[in-house]
Structures are given as structure tokens and as C-alpha cells.
Structure 1
Amino acid sequence: MYPILALALLFTAKIKQMSKSNIHFTLSFAEPHAHYVDVQMEIHGFDSDYIEVKMPVWTPGSYLIREYSRHVESFQAVSENRSIAWQKTAKNTWRVANSSSPLQINYRIYGFEASVRTNFIDSDHAFISPAATFLYIDGHLNHPTTLSVKLPEQWSRISTGLDKVEDKENCFYAPDFDILFDSPLELGNQDIWSFDAAGIPHEFAMVGGGKYDKHKLTSDIQKIVEEETRIWGENPNKRYVFVTHNYQSAFGGLEHLNSTILASSRNAYSNENTYKNYLSLVAHEYFHLWNVKRLRPKALGPFDYEQENYTTGLWIMEGFTSYYDNLIIRRCGFFSPKEYLNVLSNDFNLVYNRPGYKLQSAALSSFDTWIKHYRPDENSANTGISYYNKGAILTVALDIKIIAETAGQYCLDYVLRAAYELFYKQENRGFEEDEFQTLAERVTGVDLSEIFTAAHSTKELDYNTYFHAVGHELIDLNEDSQELSLGIKTGVQDGKIIIKQIERGSGAWDAGLQVNDELIGINGIRLDIAGKELDNILTHAEVDEVVDVLVSRDGLLRTIHSPLRRSAKQQWCIRERSEATDHEITLGKIWLSIE
């Protein structure tokens, strides 16, 4: 049989099987105050002796094995009111004897972790993270499913990117489990309003209160949507949903195919700086609508939900997005050029004030995200960097180099649009990094190899080579600082000064001070929790002077002899260059969108 004919027959058989099979979920809440959601999974029409159902161990966009199945309890299988035999065969797998009659699987999920990637249920609302909630039948990730939600009587609203099933109340449809797992649900009494942007209906949902101005938020976010749509050339959604969880203090987000979940402080909207940070967060997660959810490395889809999906390309996906989020806020006029340069400088500070930048490349940081990024410890700053910040500073070099070498005719926008058109729209596949580089160089005519090579190396670029080309310079304001430091970060616990971090290569590192040591005194002087005595000692000491540090380690007193060294803290600033030529100034205005 010819391969094409075999595939055609296989596809036809698959369609016939799916037409007679059915998967339906029902969510209900018997005890939302106790943080439970009850899940019923109805299965019909699968011809096999048994069915294996599985739960994902991670959720796309958040690269950590989270073991969602640990929150599953009260698993049952029934058919026509009789129990069906089942066996748990792996941490996230249940094997259930199949039945000729409809099979019903019931289970409960405990959810009480307030984040954008995990279930949270209480008496006020429920946030349902689908990968942490819904089982799938092994081998049938591409099967369509429907979902009904039975709201508690005190709740009245549902926000989700899933399509509604016509003529059925609170019923939704997903064409496959990839879509289902990428479509979170917010259930409760959230404040909802709608608006159009870039010709697309958008829904906005606010959870947890907050001092926000709907009209201003709508107007400002419309500008962000319009600018991002202009960059990419089209908006691929027919509808988009924003959900913001407002807390006393929070910040973050997670992208989805046609929705995003944000976390913010409920007071962020009444302060100019925190409001702009929130707009930058919106710009970041919305940018992922294209960059990650559609334009993506090969490893990021189709997904294996049972194990890590490795890629070295997160510096492109998150790094590019972390560069563009603030640049878009600048283009929309929310940041002045000076404000934008300050927030861009912060990326350099975040990279270069972590000694780990000498040990870990942006590409390795991407690959190791599964074991490092979401599991920081007291030594993380000494061993690695974030592909968000390192990716962002590599991206500004790319953008500036393209602008400078094409005399402002091209910028990174053109590369993104071309990559989206080729890899997503035309070929519908993920890319390899070398393919992305080749496309970028073909579109712009610029050799970008130095920057792509730097992403896989701990050798740093000379960033002023790029900034000078657009009339700016990157300088370390602390370069000539005489400030001394032990090289530690401390915190106060129960009135005690506790060492929380020790900087690699510092006097404290070499002397053998340890994290969790209680810092009691230096040179016979007892230290105060306000830090005044330590500041006084550092102010009047000499470089390489050895001080006697009295600590309590696990209840035992000891004195550590530690040298004082110049502080390694860097304070980077991007500013206009006084020696810039008229041409360089013109290119700088193009980069910063200055009329």
C-alpha cells in the first residue's frame, strides 16, 4: 500500500472513531470553601479492553514538573451505577477496565496555591488551571471534548478562552486536549467588561477588587494591542480574554493561546510607576500570543505532557518578549525615552549583579529552566542567570545592529513578522535556532552571528559597540566606587540578623561564612538590625582589612576572619552619548520611536 493512501485511510478511520466516541467533563463545587473542585469525566465509544487516563505533570509556559496528580483524590470509575475495576499504574496514570456502556470517572482536585499556573479554589472564586485538572486518554490528545460547569449558587460568571456550545448553559468546547490544557477558567463574580482592539473582541476580567479605571485601562490596552498587531502584521484570534488576579502584593503572568492570566497588586493602578509596570506585563503576555504560542522552537509543541520538553531557545521566546514589552510601552507613549532607558538598564543590572553570568549562557539557562529557574535557592545568583533578562540584553543588541546596519530601513520587527509568516503560517511548525538566525540575516542582510553565538557562550558582548551606533552609551556608575562590602545579603528573623546569600568571590565567600549564620558582631561591636553599625564599620575600614565576624552557627558561637573588599555591585545606566554624530542621533530616534 502506498504511504499516502495508508495515511489517508488511517485518517478516515480516525475520524470515524472520533465521530462515535465522546469525552465530556463536568466541574462542580460541593466544597469550594475547603478548596475542592469535583470532576466528572464521561467516556463513550472507545473500543478497547481498558482505558488509561493520565494527568499532565506540567503546564505549557511554566517549565517545571509540578506533579499535578498529587492533588487528585477519591478516584472512582463507574458504569450504569456499578463500580468498574481500576489500577493506578504510574504517578499520573490510572488504568480503567473499559465498558460497552458509557464510562464515568469521578475524582476530586484540591487547589489552594495562589499562582497563575495552579488551581486555586475558595468560597469567593475558583481559578481552574486545565493541565492541573483534566485527565486525558492515553493516545487521544487530539480528541475533541466538551466541558460543563455547575457554578455554586453564589457565583454567576465564567471567563475563559474556550468556545461556548450553543444552546447549552455554561458548556464549552475544545477541539483537542492541547486547546483544553491551554484554556484556563476563572469562575466567580469577577468584574467583566468588553472592548474591541485591532478588530478583535477582547474581554477583561478583574478578580479580587482593585482601584482601577476601566476607561483608562481599556484605552491604554487598546494601544498596546494595536501596536503589537502592527508589529506582527495580523491578529490571529477571533476573541481574547484577559484575567487579572488582584492581591495585596503580586506580579506575574502566564500566556495562553487566546487568553492570559495576570497577577497584580490591587493598588498598582493608582500609582504611575506600578501602573506602567502593569501595562508592561500586559504587553509581555499579549506578545506571547504570537511569540511562543504560534512562533515557537520545535520543542514547544506538540507537547509531551509527561516529561520535560527541552529547548535552548527560551532566550528568544522570553528574551525577545522581555525586550519588546517595555519597548512597546515606549512606542505607545507611556514611557518617556528616559524612563525606557532606565527600565532597559535594569536588565543589565539584573544580569551583571549575579556572578552566575560568568558560568551560565542564555541558551544553557533556557535548557536548564526545568531544574533551575523555578527552583531558586540561596546559591542561585552565583550559578546562573535568567534567560528573560539575558535574553533581553541580547535582543537589544540584535535590534540596534539591524537598525544601524540598514540605516534605519529595518529593525527586529521585520524579522519577527517574516518568521511568523514562514514557520507558523506557511509551514506550521517550530523552528531550530540556526533556521531563525538564517532567516533573520536573509530578511535584513545583516550578519548577526556574533549575537547568536554569544547566546551560547559566557563570553560577554561589547554592548557599547551597539549602543554607540545609535548615539547612546552603557556605563557602570559604580565603576570607580570605593564602597567596601563583606559580600553578603542579610535578613531579620525573630530579631536576629541572618545571612541569606553570599556572593561568589567575596571576602565572606573566601572566609567561609555561611548562609543561615546568625550575624552577631564585628570586631567586638554588636550589630544592630537596622544595619547602622555594619555601615559604620564598612565606611571606616580599609580595602583588604580583615575583620573578626562573630556568628552563631547552629547554636554554636564562632569567629570568622573575613577580608573586606570593594563592592562588586554594578549600577548600569544607558544615556545619550555626547560624541554622537548626527547620523547616530537619527538612528537613536528611530530605535526609541522619537518623532
Structure 2
Amino acid sequence: MKKLTSSALAYLITLFMTSAFAAAPAPAKISYNVTFPEAQAHYAEVEMNITGLAQPSLEVKMPVWAPGSYLVREFAKNIESLSANTKGKAIAASKINKNTWKINTTGISSVTVKYKVYAFELSVRTSFIDASHAFLSTTGIFLYPKGMVSSPSTIHISPYKDWNKVSTSLETVNGDTFTRTAPNFDILYDSPLEIGTQDVFDFDVDGTHYEVAMYGGGNYDKERLKVDMAKVVRAEVAVFGENPNKHYTFIVHNKQRNGGGLEHLSSTVLGASREQYSSPGGYRGFLSLVAHEHFHLWNVKRLRPIALGPFDYDNENYTTNLWIAEGFTAYYQNLILRHADISNQQDYLGDMTGDINTVENQPGTRVQPLSESSFDAWIKGYRPNENSYNTGISYYDKGAVVGMLLDLEIINDSNGKFSLDDVMKYMYDTYYKGKKRGYTDAEFKAGFEKFAGKKLDDFYAKYINGLDAIDYNKYLNYAGYKLVDNLADTQEPSLGVFTNSRKIITTVLRDGAGWVDGLNVNDEITAIDDTPVTDMAAILKGKKVGDKVNVTVNRDGQRFVIPVTLQRNNNVKYSINEIEGANAKQLAVRKKWLKL
């Protein structure tokens, strides 16, 4: 082969690069028009326009789940009347699986896809439309072209009647509130939209602008919320050392009874009861929810398990680390209120005791390890049945408890130099900012060990991957506290069942009296020892542990009398009490932990 001169070689390289770039097709452009001609009937109509196509076929897809809510919800079930056309001429759009439509685009450069979406489930993770407003949870509204998740898109909204506001973290186009843009579909699917006449107020915290959109009314005090929500924000920024957002949106749905929240990269959706703001407990509960979801903008939206990004929108995204992503966030939601001086020491210890009582009173905590609870969220966590109380444990509740244990361990072992805050900041800086990826289980364990100054193999074996009973007092003693069971000396007899107001059994507790002797879920208890049941507690109050009683039940329309031997009610009711004469180190740990 003849050797080329350097000038000839340079010419060929330039020619090749020019040809390659010339051959590369321009990226397709994607836009949506959303209208609400039948808002009163809970429908949105979506027109998806794609131009610049240069491919023989196009597949458009609907996500099957919403990030942050670990359940396949099959959003495509709400799509109706999907059709496709090019320049007004109809073309075939064939559904090829549960969430995908295929369109023949041979020789076609532009396609318009039209479809209707039914939306009548007002939750933080699903869409709802009526004549008063539209809440668009974007994973259930917008199809995406397969292979184009990284493509930008524009969304234009035609409001219904008097709707005059859009609340979302998506940027406007030319200042038009009804036209928004997303740099890619991960951002679009992480940016819900509230459209209507919602009450909006805002505040700023150290250069970050916050918008709060209130739908549904309520007895909230906007000026008070501005002050206290800003306190929450500052306390959380102090953990991570920065606020990665320039603007952030709270969407709050106030209903007669409501709760829950779902985090997003630069926004969140909260469920609240419209009258809860006037009571101290209700108000603090709302701020706790604010703290939880806002903390997620770091923990899980940026600092995340490696399985949670890039997202697979077609399938489950399994991880054993939701006890960190969600459980630690549940731990911080109340600790932040203490650090922000919104709640006092006793408020916080009461909140923590509530988590401990929840974990210890649930039989499933002795059946399902914490890491398995995380992994099984997709198949168990959001699909509870009548026996779930006996077979599983929440990675929120037990994760919060484990967060407390690790926080106290790190503070104690470092002589007050470090806390769990330092672990969270280190992991955020190292993996989100530095490595620009999620963390593995082993990497987060190494982060704990870095600041505890020792291996935590035994801790993981017992409390993360195992089923050992938690030695609460070992950790609480570090801060001069002890855990006391206020029911330890009681001998209250129990049937070992939970019932509803109609005395129908909803849960039979594992190894309890009803479990052993054959009471069933859905049995209606009508009598005990021939005494009609109007007040079951009063009837049992006259009995003793070990007594045998005849329980009459209506089971599927038939009468059964079931002998049951009463057992002791094994429920615990803990409180966290101060140890008299706590030493200087214990008091120092307490001060560091609670920022007293």
C-alpha cells in the first residue's frame, strides 16, 4: 500500500468528516398541543407533532410508571381514539403492545398523532381533569417517540374557559405561560403541570425562587407558610451545601381528606387536607410533608441508587436501596423541622417514637428484611392485601428508624465531629456531582463507614439484610436517652385481630389468638360468649389472658361459633425518655443530633 503524504491524508480526513456530517440527519422536532374541549367529562385531547423524520417506521410509547412511585400503573389504559396523519392524510397507527403504537413513516418527514386521555384520579402520581382545573402527571399524558428520550419538546396548552394559570417547573417559551419547553423527556416526565385558577404565592430563599400553587382552598395562612417553608428550605440546603435549583414549584392539592406527596427534579406535588392548617399538629404535619418532598430534590432526584437513572419507562427499575432514598428522607422530614426550630425536642422525639412503634408493632418486621422491602416495592409495597401487615415492613418507617441509628452511631463514634449530614453531602458530592452517576449499595455502605470510622458489616447483617431485633437503647444511650415500653407490665387480653367499624375483621395478626384458632379476614364478629358485640373492648375488658371465649361470626352468610383462647396483647407503646445523670459526651451527642 502506498503511503499517503500528510497533505493528502489531511484532505481525505476532511472530506470524510464533511461527508459524514452532511449525511447526518437533523434531529426530529417534537411538539404537543393540549386542549380540554370536554374538561367536565375528564378528558384532555393531545396532538403530538413530529417533524424532521428520516426513518422507515416510528414507534410512540407511553411510560408504564411514574418515577418516585414504584408501581407499574399502565398509563396507556387511559388513551382513547389514537390516530396518525401526515399533512392531513391519515396513515395507519397499529398498537403492537400494551404501551406502543407503530406508524409506517417510509417517505414521510412529518407525523401528527392525535389521542384523548381520560383523567379522573386525583393523586400525586396520576392525572385529574374536571371543569375546575387540570392536573397533568406527565408520564400519563405525553407519548414519546422510541429512541428519542433525549430530544427536546415544546408543550402548548389551550386552557379551558376561565383557566388562567399554569404552575410547573418547565420553562416558558417567549414568556408565554401556556407554552412550555422541556430539554428531554426525562425532564418532561419529571415536571407535572397544574392548570386552572389556583391560588399562587411565592417566596425567595438565598437566590432560589419558590412558587406555591394551592388548589382546592383551605384555611392556610400564606404569610406564615412563606416564613416556615423558607426555614425548611434553608435547613435542608445546610445539609448538602447548595441548592441546585434556581426555581422550584410546590403544587398542593387541598381536599377534604388528603395526604402524600411525589417528588420531582425541580417541583413536587403534595396532598393536604384543606382544614389541617389551623391545628398545631396538622400544620406541623404539612410542613413535615414539605420537608420530605423537598429533601428529595437531593436525595433520590440527584443522589440516587444506580438503578434509578437513566430510567427504563417500560419496566420495573429494581433497587435494594429505597430504605436510603425514601427511608432516610422520612427520617429527615421531622429532623429538619427540629433543626429549623419549627418543632421542639419533645415534638421530634414523639415523631421518632411513632416510627419505632409502627415498626415494632408490625409482625412483618420479623419476616421481611429492609433491603428486601426496598426491592419488592414493585410487587408488594403498592399492592397490599389483608396479610401484608404480617409479611412485610415499610422501607419508609424502618428506613427512618435505621437512619436514626446510623446518625447516632456516626455522631458518637466521631465524638461529635460528624453526623449523617456529612455522609449525605459526601455521597452527593462524590456520586452526583463528581462521578455523575448513581451509587451502589456497597458504595453507600462505604460512605457510612468513612464517617463512622469503622466497618458496619455487623449492622448491615442484622438490620439491613437480616431480621435481628433492633437494640434501640444501645443507640439512644449515646445521646442520653432510653426507650421505655409503657405497656410492658399490662396483661390486656386480645383476640389478635383488627376490625372495622362494622366489626368485620380486616387483619388477623400473625401468631395471635385469632390466627391460632381460626378467625378469618372478612368474618363479621356478632357475639362473644353470646353477648352481642357493640363494644368489643368492653367485653374483653372483663376477660383474662388464657380465657377461652366463643366468638360468633358471620362468614359468607353462614353462622359459625369459634372457640378462641385469648392471648396477651403484645403491642408496644414506646416513649423516648431522658436518662438521669447523662454524662458530658451523651449531652454533646444529643446537642449535635437535635441542634439544641
TM-score category of the 2 structures, normalised to the smaller one: over 0.9
Range 276-285 or range 585-594, more displaced: 585-594
Secondary structure of the structure 2 residue equivalent to 1:170: strand
**Retained in 1: the 8 A contact 2:54–2:109?**
no
Secondary structure of the structure 1 residue equivalent to 2:284: helix
1:523 paired residue number: 529
Equivalents in 2 of 1:15, 1:175: separation in Å?
24
Matched, 1:190 2:198: yes
1:573-592 per-residue CA deviation (whole Å, 9 max, x = no partner) reads 11111242232122212211
Equivalents in 1 of 2:22, 2:220: separation in Å?
50
Equivalents in 2 of 1:167, 1:129: separation in Å?
23
1:13/1:262 Cα in 2 relative to 1: closer, same or farther (>3 Å)?
Answer: farther
Give the C-alpha shift of residue 232 in structure 1: 0.3
Equivalents in 2 of 1:444, 1:174: separation in Å?
42
Give the C-alpha shift of residue 13 in structure 1: 6.3
Equivalents in 2 of 1:411, 1:583: separation in Å?
15
Aligned residues: 579
One-letter amino acid matched to 2:184:
D
Q: 1:216 aligns with which of 205, 208, 224?
A: 224
**Retained in 2: the 8 A contact 1:250–1:264?**
yes
**Retained in 1: the 8 A contact 2:219–2:278?**
yes
1:125-145 per-residue CA deviation (whole Å, 9 max, x = no partner) reads 000011001111111111111
**Retained in 2: the 8 A contact 1:198–1:229?**
no
Equivalents in 2 of 1:198, 1:122: separation in Å?
37
Q: 1:85 aligns with which of 86, 92, 97?
A: 92
One-letter amino acid matched to 1:542:
K
Identity of aligned residues (%): 44
1:350-405 per-residue CA deviation (whole Å, 9 max, x = no partner) reads 11111000000111000000011111121111000000010011110100011111
Instruction: Please list every run of at least 4 consecutive aligned residues from structure 1 whose deviation after the TM superposition is greater than 4 angstroms.
Output: 12-16
2:549 paired residue number: 547
Give the C-alpha shift of residue 26 in structure 1: 1.0
Matched, 1:163 2:171: yes
1:462/1:43 Cα in 2 relative to 1: closer, same or farther (>3 Å)?
Answer: same
Equivalents in 1 of 2:553, 2:145: separation in Å?
57
Which runs of 5 or more structure 1 residues have no equivalent in the other structure? none
2:112 paired residue number: 104
Range 404-413 or range 576-585, more displaced: 576-585
Matches within 5 A, 1:87-166: 87-98=94-105, 100-166=108-174
Equivalents in 2 of 1:382, 1:15: separation in Å?
62
1:49/1:201 Cα in 2 relative to 1: closer, same or farther (>3 Å)?
Answer: same
1:541-587 per-residue CA deviation (whole Å, 9 max, x = no partner) reads 22221111111111111110111010011111111112422321222
Equivalents in 2 of 1:395, 1:169: separation in Å?
41
Matched, 1:472 2:481: yes
2:411 paired residue number: 403
Which runs of 5 or more structure 2 residues have no equivalent in the other structure? 1-12
Q: 2:239 aligns with which of 231, 236, 241?
A: 231
Equivalents in 2 of 1:327, 1:584: separation in Å?
18
2:558 paired residue number: 556
1:345/1:13 Cα in 2 relative to 1: closer, same or farther (>3 Å)?
Answer: farther
1:206-256 per-residue CA deviation (whole Å, 9 max, x = no partner) reads 000011111110000111111111110100011100110000011110000
TM-score (norm 2): 0.95
One-letter amino acid matched to 1:536:
A
Give the C-alpha shift of residue 273 in structure 1: 0.6
One-letter amino acid matched to 1:509:
W
Q: 1:30 aligns with which of 37, 46, 49?
A: 37
1:484 paired residue number: 493
1:374 paired residue number: 382
Range 117-126 or range 537-546, more displaced: 537-546
1:199 paired residue number: 207
**Retained in 1: the 8 A contact 2:60–2:144?**
yes
Secondary structure of the structure 2 residue equivalent to 1:37: strand
Secondary structure of the structure 1 residue equivalent to 2:504: strand
Secondary structure of the structure 1 residue equivalent to 2:201: strand
Matches within 5 A, 1:232-381: 232-381=240-389
Secondary structure of the structure 1 residue equivalent to 2:430: helix
1:21-66 per-residue CA deviation (whole Å, 9 max, x = no partner) reads 2010111101000000100100111211110111000000000000
**Retained in 2: the 8 A contact 1:54–1:136?**
yes
1:318-375 per-residue CA deviation (whole Å, 9 max, x = no partner) reads 1111111100001111111011100100001111111000000111000000011111
**Retained in 1: the 8 A contact 2:46–2:114?**
yes
Equivalents in 1 of 2:123, 2:401: separation in Å?
27
Q: 2:588 aligns with which of 577, 586, 589?
A: 586
2:8 paired residue number: none
TM-score (norm 1): 0.95
**Retained in 2: the 8 A contact 1:242–1:261?**
yes
Alpha-carbon RMSD across the aligned residues, in angstroms, is 1.8
1:458 paired residue number: 467
2:7 paired residue number: none
